[in-house]
Structures are given as C-alpha cells and as structure tokens.
Structure 1
C-alpha cells in the first residue's frame, strides 16, 4: 500500500509540473493586457513603466521561472486589476464554488443512487423506463437553459425560491442558514442534473452486471433475503465504479460551474475567472487554473485510495 501511494504521489507531482508549463505558456502567450489596462492616451514612458511593473518586460521563460520561484513560496502573482495577491482573491471566492459543487454532488448521489438501483433491479418496469428516459433528458438539456427555466418557474412564477445571490451565511457557508440554503437550492439542482443522469445510468449498469455474478446467485441460493443480497452483495460492489466516476466528476463540477454561477449570479470562482478573462488579468487566470489542476490531482489521489480500500486487488498490484 505504501509503495502504491508513493508511486501515485510521484505521478501527481509530474502532472502538476507539466500542467504548470502548459497553463503558464498558454495564458501568457496570448493577448496583451497592457492594451486593456492602460489608457490609450498614455504616452510611451507610462506604457513602459506599466510593462516593467507588471513584469511583462522579461522573456517568457524568465517569467515562468519567476512564477515557479514565487509559487513554491505560496505566491501565485498579484492581480493586474485589483493589485492584490491572485491566490487571496481566489480563496475568497472558493467557499461559494465548493459549496455549490458539493451541494450538486450530494443531490446527484441522493437522487441518482436509489433511482439507479430501482432501474437496475426492475429493468422492465414502467418506473424504470421513465427513469432511464429522464436520464437521457438530463444528459441532453443545456445547463444554461435549464437554469433559466428553473428561475422562471420557481422564482418568478411561483415565488418559492430566490433566483440570484448567495443569501445569508454563517461562518462563510450558506447551507448553515435557512435563507442561504434557499439561495443554494436552485443552482445546486441545476448543476446536479447532468450528474444525476450519470449516476443513474452508472448505477443501473453496475446492478445489471453484478446481478449475474456467481456470488450473487450463491447468496440467493443460500436463502438470503432480497434486501440483504441487494445492500450487502450488490451495492458494495457497484460502489467501486460509482466512487471513481463521482470523484472525477466532482473535479469537473468545480471547474465547470462557471455557467451555473453566471446564470444565478452566484459569487464564486467562476464569475471571478470570467471577469479576469475579459481584462486579461493573467495572474488570476493562471492561479485559478493551477488551483483547479491541483484539485483534480488531489481528488484523483483520494479516489485511488478509496478504490484500493474497496478493491484489495489494487493494493496487490501496487505491491507487485
């Protein structure tokens, strides 16, 4: 197990280094923030002074070395627009995005797992067919359109839930207050629709495959109750692919919550990165992308550890 973890940590470090090069070069080689940040009426002296102040007078490879040196000290650069540390700006917005992403994943698991189990255990029933048709709909509908429809129905016409903002917070979290939870519900549902469909189809296929295994047939032959066969023998084994995919989807939910945050005016990292892209605030863009990459790496590492706990064969392969 130790060898397996060390190997995964080394691989994660290599990925982080490679992605830092790709992200930095991809962002810093495109566009000229000076044209946006500096007034067109500024003279050549003012422009050169601004370029030196932003560190844009150095060659690209030197800018990258400076970035790596500062990043190792916890400094991902200062925002061109706000003149504040980019990492600080992102960390201020991160709780809102994390809350939205975890809320969406919680809803997807809470709804997707039981519906997928039902559809897998009773595949020919009318309810299962309705569930699978609904999952296809969840895959197909665009997120921004669903968000607008949720606002029109539940916020405008019915007036049940607020449509924008984060509401009241307690210790920086919305779900700890009733008002904040009401603000969280609509964007979380909107972000969770695709994940619900994914969990339903993944769980259903896992159940259908597991029900044909010999150990399930043997458990039935022993006279075990259907509930025990389902929740002890079937459910535990389908958790392996579900944990893997849900873990990976958590990273994508955090990274691609931009649309939902824009539709519902949710004050998270997505709105910050959109504003930074509009003004070519390179330090904020690079810091955001590096944090997202780091999140993906950490989530993948946690998923691999959970996978090795659920499936002992992974540990044996690591020892080999």
Structure 2
C-alpha cells in the first residue's frame, strides 16, 4: 500500500506540473484584461501603470516562472477584479458546489441503482423498457433546458420551490452550508435534480449491465437453487458485485459533477465555483480562472486515489501494493 501511495503521489505531481503549464499558457495567452478593467477613457500612462501593477508587462515565460514560484507556496495570484487571493475566492465558493454535487450524487445512486437492477432482472418487461427509454432521455436532454423547465414547473407555475439562490445557511466549523436548514434544502432540490439527471441515466445503465452479467454467474444460480430469498440474492450476491464498476465510475463522475456544474449553477444562480468561473471569464479575471482549473485538477487526482482505495476494499483480489500495482 505504501509503495502504491508513493507512486501515485509522484504521478500526481507530474500531472499537476504539466497541467499548470497548459492552464497558464492557455489562459494568459487569450485576451487582454486591461480592456475590461480599465476605463476606455483612460490615457496611456494609466494603462501602462495598470499593466505594470498586474505584471502583464513581463514576457510570458517570466510571468509563468513567477506564477510557478508563488504556486509552490499556495499562492495562485490575486484576483484582478476583487483584489483578494484567487484561491481564497475559489475555496469560499467550494462548499456550495460540494454540497450540491453530493446531493446530486445521492439522488443519482438512490434512483439509478434500484431502477438499473430492476431493468437488469426484468429486461423484457414493460417497466424495464420504460426505464431504459428514460435513461436515453436523461443522456439526450440539454442541462440548461431541463433546468429552465424545472424552474417553470416547480417555481413559477406551482410555486413549490425557489428558483434561484442558496437560501438560509448555517455555519459548520466556520463553513456555511445550506443542507442543514429547511430553507436551504428547498433551494437545493431543483439544481441538484438538474445536476443529477445525466448521472441517474449513467447509473441506471451501469447497474443494468452489471446485473445482467452477474445474474448469469454460477454463484447466483447456486444461491437460487439453495432457495435463498430473492431479496437476499439481490442484496448480497448481485448488489455487492455490481458496485465495483459503479463505484469506480461514480468516483470519477463525482469530480466531473463538481468541475462541470457551471451550467446548473448559472441557470439557478447558485453561488458556487461554477458561477464564479463564468463571472471570471466574462471579466477576464485570469488568476481566478487559473486557480479554479488547478483546484479542479487536484480534486480529480484526490478522487482517483480514493477510488483506487475503495476498489481494493470492494475486491480483495486486488493488491495495490503488489508488484503489478
């Protein structure tokens, strides 16, 4: 296990270094934030002073070296617009995105696995066919369009749920969360459903494929022959084995839910990292965009490591610390 962890940390460091170069080059080579930050009526002296203050007068390689040196100490730059550390802005919005992503994944698992198992056990039934048709819709419908439909139906027409914002929050260890209040939960339901739609369809298909494969295995047939209750067969023999690929995929998908919740957060005005990213792109606030992307890279790396560890726990045949790890 220790060898595996050391190897993965070394690989992660290489990935972070490569992504730092790509992100910095891609973001800082596009556009000129001075055009957005400085009044069009400013004279050349004011423009030159602003450019020098932001360090944009230096050659690209010198800007990157300064960025890399500061990044090693956790400083990813200061926001051009807000005048505070970019990492601070991103991390302040992270709890809002995290709790929304967690609720979306809980919804996806709670709905997708039972429906997928049902469709896998009864693939030719009418219910099984309806479930699979619904999963195709989940893959096909645009997220922003579904979000607007949810707002029109449940917020505007019925008035059951709020259409935007985060609602009332309570600080837990100094971090504000919405899920601990009734008003906060009401504000979370629509964006979480919208964010979970694609993942529900994915989980249904994974669970269905795994169920159909596992149901044909000898140990399942033997369990049926012994007269075990169907509920026990599904809960012990089928569910445990289909969870291995589901956990692997969902771990990676959890990172994508956090990283790519931009559309949902924009539609529902959810004050998370995704909305911050859109606002920063519109204002050409380069340090915030870079900080967001690098925090996302680190998040994916950590999630990959956790998924590998969970995989070994679900399948004891895997030995992470062995020669083939």
Q: Which of the five TM-score ranges fits, normalised by the shorter chain? A: over 0.9
Give 1:238's aligned residue.
Answer: 242
1:18 maps to 2:32: no
Matched residues in 2 for 1:238 and 1:119: separation? 14
What does residue range 255-274 of structure 1 map to in structure 2 within 5 Å? 255-274=259-278
Matched residues in 1 for 2:318 and 2:46: separation? 60
Is the CA contact 2:312–2:320 (under 8 Å) kept in the aligned structure 1? no
TM-score by length of 1: 0.97
Give 2:142's aligned residue.
Answer: 142
Give 1:125's aligned residue.
Answer: 125
Q: Deviations over 1:139-195 (max 9, x none)?
A: 111111111111111111111111111110111111110011001001100110110
The structure with the largest helix share of the pair is 1
Matched residues in 1 for 2:298 and 2:320: separation? 27
Return 285-294 or 47-56, whichever deviates more: 47-56
Give 1:8's aligned residue.
Answer: 8
Runs of 4+ in 1 over 4 A off after TM superposition: none
Matched residues in 2 for 1:279 and 1:226: separation? 58
Cα deviation for residue 317 of structure 1 reads 7.5
TM-score by length of 2: 0.95
C-alpha RMSD of matched pairs (Å): 1.3
Give 2:161's aligned residue.
Answer: 161
Give 2:84's aligned residue.
Answer: 84
Matched residues in 1 for 2:169 and 2:112: separation? 28
SS at match of 2:322: helix
1:290 equivalent among 290, 294, 297: 294
Give 1:312's aligned residue.
Answer: 316
Matched residues in 2 for 1:46 and 1:197: separation? 54
Matched residues in 2 for 1:126 and 1:317: separation? 47
Q: Deviations over 1:20-64 (max 9, x none)?
A: 111011101111111221122222222221111101122111211
SS at match of 2:170: coil
Give 2:225's aligned residue.
Answer: 221
Matched residues in 2 for 1:6 and 1:75: separation? 25
| 5+ long unaligned stretches in structure 1 | none
Cα deviation for residue 316 of structure 1 reads 6.1
Q: Deviations over 1:235-257 (max 9, x none)?
A: 11111100011111111111111
What does residue range 138-217 of structure 1 map to in structure 2 within 5 Å? 138-171=138-171, 172-217=176-221
Matched residues in 1 for 2:180 and 2:275: separation? 23
Matched residues in 1 for 2:53 and 2:179: separation? 42
Is the CA contact 2:4–2:320 (under 8 Å) kept in the aligned structure 1? no
1:302 maps to 2:281: no
Return 53-62 or 240-249, whichever deviates more: 53-62
Cα deviation for residue 266 of structure 1 reads 0.8
